[in-house]
């Protein structure tokens, strides 16, 4: 078992070259990410702006219904729902796409020696474009309900950076495993669906009580969600949330590096 996960100096060198080559090839992965979005809405009159419209309709419809169900003021609940669901859509998109990152890139990997990291960054670029389309809704929602986060909203930027770093590592790790084990994409879809109900997207942590809410610190989706959503609503995340985000990132980066360095060369043969 341990021999199977041992990494030779050559593996380390090639993995480093792949990471460096992938990052510097930014014109390729940005173009591929944009192309994915355009292809998804090809021949549609609104094109990729369907992303924004769909999100706006969801937030408006579900926000009114859930505010009534939870007996919460719409002016308080709908801005929270808008911010949390937009960030959740980013995270769930990254998680689901991670399981298809190399399978989707099979035509490229079979024909050319392209750094594998290019396709990991393609996934991040694609989901970043969709997030950019969705996030424009927030100023409108905040203006309608009188929410002004002030300078605290800038703390969402390091939160997004930490989320992007975790996503970069997770896509590397899950991508390798899902290429070898083809049941993993279905497992990931079901896991993400379950995580949706266990993460404070449609509901607030305060609704669970302090004892139960503390368990959310073990939910990585909840941790990274709070690091972005709370600043957008004008509340600075506690230091414990930042510490939890970093603590989850470090072992994830280690596992991703181990899997990528050891099995990077085998990916084209598994496709």
Cα angle 42-46-52, degrees, rounded to a multiple of 5: 105
Check pLDDT > 80 for residue 43.
Answer: no
For residue 1, name the pLDDT band (cuts at 50, 70, 90).
very low
Structure tokens at 39: 């292809």
Determine the average pLDDT of the residues in 19-46. 84
Check pLDDT > 80 for residue 212.
Answer: no
For residue 117, name the pLDDT band (cuts at 50, 70, 90).
very high
Check pLDDT > 50 for residue 67.
Answer: yes
Separation of alpha carbons 266 and 64, rounded Å: 50
Check pLDDT > 50 for residue 47.
Answer: yes
Residues belonging to the chain: 271
- Among 111-115, 175-179, 235-239, which is the least confidently predicted range? 111-115
CB hemisphere CA count around 137 (13 angstroms): 27
Sequence-ordered list of residues with C-beta below 8 angstroms from that of 113, at least 6 positions apart, any chain = none
What's the 3-state SS for the chain? CCCCCCCCHHHHHHHHHHHHHHHHCHHHHHHHHHHHHHHHCCCCCCHHHHHHHHHHHHHHHHHHHHHHHCCCCHHHHHHHHHHHHHHHHHHHHHHHHHCCHHHHCHHHHCCCCCCCHHHHHHHHHHHHHHHHHHHCHHHHHHHHHCCCCHHHHHHHHHHHHHHHHHHHHHHHHHHHHHHHCCCHHHHHHHHHHHHHHHCCCCCCHHHHCHHHHHHHHHCHHHHHHHHHHHHHCCCCCCHHHHHHHHHHHHHHHHHHHHHHHHHHHHHHHHC
Distances from the Cα of 13 to the Cα of 110, 121, 255, 256, angstroms: 22, 20, 17, 15
Q: What phi and psi, each to the nearest 5 degrees, are found at residue 201? A: -100, -50
For residue 2, name the pLDDT band (cuts at 50, 70, 90).
very low
What confidence score (pLDDT) does residue 5 get? 60
Instruction: Please state the domain extents for the chain.
Output: 9-40+47-270
Quick: pLDDT tens for 122-164: 999 999 998 998 998 999 999 988 888 888 999 999 999 999 9
């Amino acid at each position: 078992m341990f021999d199977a996960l041992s990494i030779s100096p050559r593996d380390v060198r090639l993995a480093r070259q792949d990471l460096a080559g992938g990052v510097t090839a930014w014109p390729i992965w940005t173009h591929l990410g944009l192309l994915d979005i355009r292809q998804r809405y090809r021949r549609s009159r609104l094109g990729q702006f369907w992303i924004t419209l769909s999100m706006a309709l969801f937030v408006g419809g579900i926000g009114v219904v859930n505010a009534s169900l939870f007996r919460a003021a719409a002016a308080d609940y709908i801005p929270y729902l808008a911010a949390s669901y937009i960030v959740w859509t980013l995270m769930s998109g990254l998680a689901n796409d991670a399981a298809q990152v190399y399978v989707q890139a099979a035509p490229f990997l079979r024909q050319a020696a392209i750094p594998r990291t290019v396709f990991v960054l393609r996934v991040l670029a694609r989901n970043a474009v969709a997030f950019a389309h969705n996030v424009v809704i927030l100023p409108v929602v905040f203006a309608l309900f009188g929410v002004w986060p002030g300078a605290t909203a800038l703390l969402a930027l390091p939160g997004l950076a930490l989320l992007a770093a975790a996503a970069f590592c997770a896509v590397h790790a899950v991508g390798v495993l899902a290429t070898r084990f083809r049941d993993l994409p279905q497992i990931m879809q079901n896991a993400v669906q379950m995580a949706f109900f266990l993460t404070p997207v449609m509901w607030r942590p305060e609704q669970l009580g302090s004892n139960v809410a503390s368990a959310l610190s073990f939910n990585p989706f909840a941790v990274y969600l709070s690091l972005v959503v709370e600043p957008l609503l004008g509340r600075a995340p506690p230091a414990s949330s930042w510490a939890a985000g970093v603590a989850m990132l470090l072992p994830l980066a280690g596992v991703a590096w181990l899997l990528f360095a050891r099995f990077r060369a085998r990916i084209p043969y598994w496709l």
